[in-house]
């Protein structure tokens, strides 16, 4: 338990690193990576507002607080009712097999703790390879404090019958920082659906800094669904880095409901031909929530397809940010890349910042992006009211169907109802 009390914000984390290392000792295979990461963090520090990709998100208030490093705790979870999944439970960032239900996993699929598998070839080859700690401060920080996490491996040709559900439970009574780490490896021809959600058991402020790396092998198929239901004292920085081999398919669905400050970094490197990448996101904010979705699709090889669709509904004084970038590298011909961001502002004080960017270095491509921000369609509202539907209900109906566009895209159909419930909850 290292306390963070020094003066300069970065120094506190550097000092905490020293104490953390001496307290917990170093598990050999990870210490090299961790050392490199902290050195890099010392150099780059936290991103300032001047940093183009953090232009609209000010992290000073959340990193300025004094946090405890998360300690071990005991907890249990029931998971999501009505959903058949293999449940992997992480309590305060540590894999807890006792609380998990993994006995039904099909052959060829394993869910293990990172500390137990740190010396395995799979971890050695892939960990830290996709989540870039040299450029992204929070990834560097996560990597530096790397002790445990989840390693999900789907062997070549194996298919998951039901989704693996990663549940992070955070139990804290003091302001805490928790830094989960996940590595998902889908070998060639493998296929898997992964759901990730978080349960908060405390009521004090919490900073979650999660890093997830996904390797999608040749002709493999991975769906990753991230469900974040925040409370006003929870801030989340997530970094999801995906590496795709040829003919693979990856789909990401990010649902963010509330929270103090949320920053979702999603970067995909399509490093093989005929890749398909789908990025869907829904964010709903009220109160003083701040939700920032930052996506980066890097098309390095020809003949790929990517489609991005993010929707947001912002109420009260909340702020929404969409920062999307598609890069088509030289010689990556025949790329089709689409990007759409639609947002609705419900109050006079809500704000939306949208920055869909294209950077293209190949000529035979079809790329487009679109962004709209506005109010609910007045004609639609009028139509519903003319049919005798009260205004309140008409608005709710329209907003639900607006959000429904994204929900219906989520691959796990049995989750749709739950997602609609969250939407309704946010609109109440």
Which of 234, 365, 410, 423 contacts other proteins by CB under 8 A? Answer: 365
Among residues 371, 384, 389, 397, the one that binds other proteins under rule CB under 8 A? 371
User: Toward other proteins, which CB reaches closer, 274 or 373?
Assistant: 373
333 belongs to the binding site for other proteins (CB under 8 A): yes
CB nearer to other proteins: give 153 or 295.
295
Binding of other proteins by 318 (CB under 8 A): no
Tell whether residue 389 is a contact of other proteins (CB under 8 A).
Answer: no
Nearer Cβ to other proteins, position 99 or 334? Answer: 334
Q: Token digits for 224?
A: 């990753």
Residue 407 beta carbon to other proteins: minimum distance, rounded to whole angstroms: 23
User: Which residue, 330 or 417, has its beta carbon nearer to other proteins?
Assistant: 330
C-alpha angle 10-283-168 in degrees, rounded to nearest 5: 60
b/e map 209-243, b = 16+ CB within 10 Å? bbbbbbbbbbbbbbbbbbbbbbeeebbbbbbbbbb
The contacts of residue 228 (CB under 8 Å, 6+ apart) are: 197, 198, 236, 238, 254, 255, 256, 257, 259, 262
Is 73 a binder of other proteins (CB under 8 A)? no
Q: How far is CA 111 from the centre of its chain?
A: 19
Task: In whole angstroms, give the CA distance from residue 176 to residue 237.
Answer: 14
Tokens of 10: 């970065």
Task: Select the residue interacting with other proteins from 351, 385, 409, 416 (CB under 8 A).
Answer: 351
- Determine if 372 is a binding residue for other proteins (CB under 8 A): yes
Q: Does 18 bind other proteins (CB under 8 A)?
A: no
Query: Could you say whether residue 381 binds other proteins (CB under 8 A)?
Result: no
Q: Which of 122, 273, 353, 385 binds other proteins (CB under 8 A)?
A: 353
Does position 53 interact with other proteins (CB under 8 A)? The reply is no
Nearest to 330 by CA among 359, 309, 351, 370: 359
- Give the bridge partners for 213, in sequence order: 183, 241
DSSP state of 302: S
CA 366 – CA 355 distance, rounded (Å) = 19
Q: What is the end-to-end Cα distance of the chain in Å, rounded?
A: 40
35 binds other proteins (CB under 8 A): no
The DSSP string of 166-233 is: EEEEE--SS-EEE--EEEEEE-TT-EEEEEEEEEE---S-EEEEEEEEEEE-TT-EEEEEEEEE--TT
Instruction: Give CA–CA dist 379/376, Å, rounded.
Output: 9
Exactly one of 343, 395, 406, 407 binds other proteins (CB under 8 A); that residue is: 343
The answer to whether 383 contacts other proteins (rule: CB under 8 A) is: no
The residue within the footprint of other proteins, chosen from 368, 383, 408, 421 (CB under 8 A), is: 368
396 binds other proteins (CB under 8 A): no
Please report whether residue 350 would count as binding other proteins according to CB under 8 A: yes
Judged by CB under 8 A, does residue 364 bind other proteins?
yes
Question: Which residue lies nearer to other proteins by CB, 364 or 408?
Answer: 364
Binding test (CB under 8 A) with other proteins, winner from 32, 104, 366, 425: 366
Which parts of this chain interact with other proteins (CB under 8 A)?
A: 52, 56, 330-331, 333, 343, 345-375
């Amino acid at each position: 338990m290292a306390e963070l009390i020094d003066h300069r914000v970065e120094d506190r984390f550097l000092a905490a690193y020293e104490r953390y290392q001496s307290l917990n000792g170093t598990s050999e295979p990870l210490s090299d990576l961790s050392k490199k990461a902290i050195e890099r963090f010392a150099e780059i520090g936290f991103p300032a507002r001047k940093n183009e990709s953090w232009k609209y998100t000010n992290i000073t208030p959340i990193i300025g607080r004094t946090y405890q490093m998360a300690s071990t705790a005991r907890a249990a979870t029931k998971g999501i009712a009505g959903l058949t999944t293999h449940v992997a439970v992480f309590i305060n960032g540590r894999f807890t097999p006792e609380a998990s239900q993994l006995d039904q996993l099909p052959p060829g699929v394993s869910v293990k703790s990172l500390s137990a598998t740190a010396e395995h070839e799979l971890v050695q080859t892939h960990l830290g390879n996709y989540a870039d700690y040299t450029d992204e401060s929070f990834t560097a920080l996560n990597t530096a404090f790397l002790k445990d996490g989840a390693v999900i491996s789907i062997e070549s040709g194996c298919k998951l019958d039901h989704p693996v559900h990663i549940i992070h439970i955070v139990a804290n009574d003091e302001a805490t920082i928790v830094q989960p780490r996940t590595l998902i490896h889908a070998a060639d021809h493998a296929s898997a659906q992964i759901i990730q959600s978080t349960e908060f058991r405390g009521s004090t402020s919490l900073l979650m800094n999660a890093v997830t790396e996904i390797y999608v092998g040749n002709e493999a198929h991975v769906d990753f669904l991230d469900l974040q239901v925040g409370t006003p004292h929870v801030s989340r920085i997530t970094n999801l880095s995906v590496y795709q081999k040829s003919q693979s398919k990856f789909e990401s669905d990010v649902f963010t409901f509330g929270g103090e400050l949320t920053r979702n970094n999603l970067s995909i490197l399509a490093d093989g031909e005929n890749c398909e990448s789908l990025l869907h996101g829904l964010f709903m904010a009220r109160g003083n929530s701040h939700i920032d979705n930052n996506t980066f699709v890097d098309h390095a090889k020809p003949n790929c397809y990517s489609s991005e669709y993010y929707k947001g509904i912002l109420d009260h004084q909340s702020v929404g940010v969409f920062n999307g970038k598609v890069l088509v590298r030289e010689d990556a011909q025949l790329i089709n890349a689409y990007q759409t961001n639609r947002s609705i502002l419900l109050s006079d004080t809500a704000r939306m910042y949208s920055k869909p960017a294209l950077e293209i270095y190949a000529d035979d491509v079809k790329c487009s992006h679109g962004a709209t921000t506005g109010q609910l369609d007045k004609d639609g509202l009028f139509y519903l009211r003319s049919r005798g539907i009260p205004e309140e209900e008409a608005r709710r109906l329209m907003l639900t169907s607006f959000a429904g566009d994204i929900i219906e895209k989520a691959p796990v159909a049995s989750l749709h109802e739950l997602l609609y419930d969250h939407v309704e909850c946010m609109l109440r």
